[in-house]
Copies of this chain bind each other. A is one copy, B any other.
Amino acid sequence: MTQVSETRAARRSWQDIRDEIHSRVLSRRYKPGDKLPRDEDIAEELGCARSTVQRAMQDLNDAGIVERKRKSGTQVRPDPVTRATLDIPITRVEVEARGARYGYQMLARGHEMTPPPVASAFGLSAPEEMLHIEALHLADDAPFILEDRWVSLGTCPEIVDVDLSVQSANEWLVMHKPYDLMDLRFYAVNANGEMAARLNVSEGAALLVIERSTWIGKRPITTVRSVTTPGYQLLTGS
């Protein structure tokens, strides 16, 4: 409270207000499930505009610390979650960030009808002809990620003219086909015979798989299953 009184005279940014409210949650002055005072009352107590409190609360809401509801106001999240932001870069950038030389091999490319798991990942009611690409990303000439990708010819007709033996579909799509909806899933698999051969690992090795599907305006763009190599870790933090 001393701090509040001392700084009340100064103009307070929404970040200051956010930090003050966050510190009250951290110190358990506001506990999980507690209803917070009204924005107006916090604004008056902390000597700032109501819009400043609103901006701060928006940020705390986005961070999963409080929950804002139109009718019932703001409460400290009753069931706190561990919330993290995850950035997955283009694979070339990821390899180069590790100080390794990036390499890329297209293994197969063709037009095929989507098999059921792919149609299901996109939520298609019927199979569609799409571009199917298998490719290997390398770090210092060693296999790094094996990707199995399907690209919609409806949203990406230009891709048929791209030389995907030189530029990866990963990179081309990220640069040319922004999405507005994405599904992302992580799981572990035991390497099957094909994965083991492609990635030069023992059959049965535990591999982290990252699956990603993207859409624009509800139309599918691409779905990709990226199989990583042993020791691969996905890191994030707050």
Interface flag for A111 (CB, 8 Å) = no
Interface pair B89/A79, CB less than 8 Å apart: yes
Interface pair B205/A208, CB less than 8 Å apart: no
Within 8 Å by CB of A81, from B25, B32, B89, lies: B89
Interface pair A184/B25, CB less than 8 Å apart: no
Give bound CA distance, A174 to B208, whole Å.
Answer: 27
Give bound CA distance, A23 to B174, whole Å.
Answer: 16
Number of copies: 2
Interface flag for A10 (CB, 8 Å) = no
Residues of chain B contacted by A28 (CB below 8 angstroms): 176, 178
Tell me the minimal C-beta distance from A61 to chain B in angstroms.
Answer: 12
Within 8 Å by CB of A84, from B22, B175, B184, B233, lies: B184
Residues of chain B contacted by A175 (CB below 8 angstroms): 32, 80
Q: Which residue of B lies closest to A79 (CB)?
A: B93
Q: Which residue of B lies closest to A88 (CB)?
A: B82
Tell me the minimal C-beta distance from A176 to chain B in angstroms.
Answer: 8
Interface pair B187/A208, CB less than 8 Å apart: yes
Q: Which positions 169-218 of chain A face chain B at CB distance < 8 Å?
A: 174-176, 178, 180-190, 204-209, 212, 216
Interface flag for A236 (CB, 8 Å) = yes
Residues of chain B contacted by A236 (CB below 8 angstroms): 86, 184-185
Residues of chain B contacted by A187 (CB below 8 angstroms): 208, 231-234
Task: Tell whether A188 pairs with B174 under 8 Å between CB atoms, given A26-B180, A79-B89, A81-B88.
Answer: no
